[in-house]
Amino acid sequence: MRNMTSVPSRDGDVVLGDDWVPRDATEPSEMRARRERRGLFPLRASPITRKIVTFNLVGLCLFFAGISYLNSSRDSLVVQRASALVSEAELIADVFEAQLPTGAPVSLATGDGMDINSALIGLDLCNVTEVFVFDPSDTLIANVSGTVDVTRSNADLQTSSTILTNG
């Protein structure tokens, strides 16, 4: 068993993080006075500390400003996409309405008065759009997926010209 009455001296040990070690009573008085003068925020003493803190604060401000800007733009993109879907649905409904016979009854399920499949095939829909046609009793009559590729390659974008800029 170890003798606990005599604790060996640790003068040669390396102590990392001296803030966690209580100050010794034998600490030189000029060191203690310098620490007390320095205070909590030693920004006055070191220009490099001021620069580091300033650039970090500027970076944090830019970071939060960017997040705030992108968050609001994302919300507006969602609203734009939703309004585009509503407009596209209204246009497709207008196509069906224009093909309906006037004054005659129409049965979408049996195909009386209107050919739903030919109307859907005649639509130029982008490849991310699907159209489902239901009758009043919620029975699926026809559906179609878009086939038009709306994405353009980089080569197409470089060769296309506009009147105002490439005249």
Q: Which two tokens stand for residue 92?
A: 């497709």
Pick the more confident residue, 120 or 27: 120
What does the pLDDT look like over 50-59, one tens digit per residue?
Answer: 888 899 999 9
Strand partners, 143: 132
For 4, counting Cβ atoms within 10 Å of its Cβ (0-12 exposed, 13-18 middle, 19+ buried), the class is exposed
Q: State the average pLDDT over residues 78-94.
A: 89
pLDDT at 88 over 50: yes
d(CA 4, CA 97): 98
DSSP, residue by residue, 1-14: ----SSPPP-TT--
Query: Is the pLDDT at 82 greater than 80, yes or no?
Result: yes
DSSP string for residues in 126-147: BTT-EEEEE-TT--EEEEEE--
Whether 148 and 126 have beta carbons less than 8 Å apart is answered as yes
**21 or 119: whose pLDDT is higher?**
119
pLDDT tens-digit readout, 92-106:
889 888 888 888 888
Collapsing DSSP to helix, strand or coil, 140 comes out as: strand
Lookup: tokens for 141: 């009559």
Place of tokens 């003798």: 3
Q: What integer is the mean pLDDT of 22-40? A: 64
Confidence of residue 83 (pLDDT cuts 50, 70, 90): very high
Report the distance separating Cα 43 and Cα 27, nearest Å.
24
95: nearest Cα among 71, 63, 125: 125
Structural domain boundaries in the chain? 41-99, 101-155
pLDDT of residue 167: 47
What is the value of pTM for the model shown? 0.47
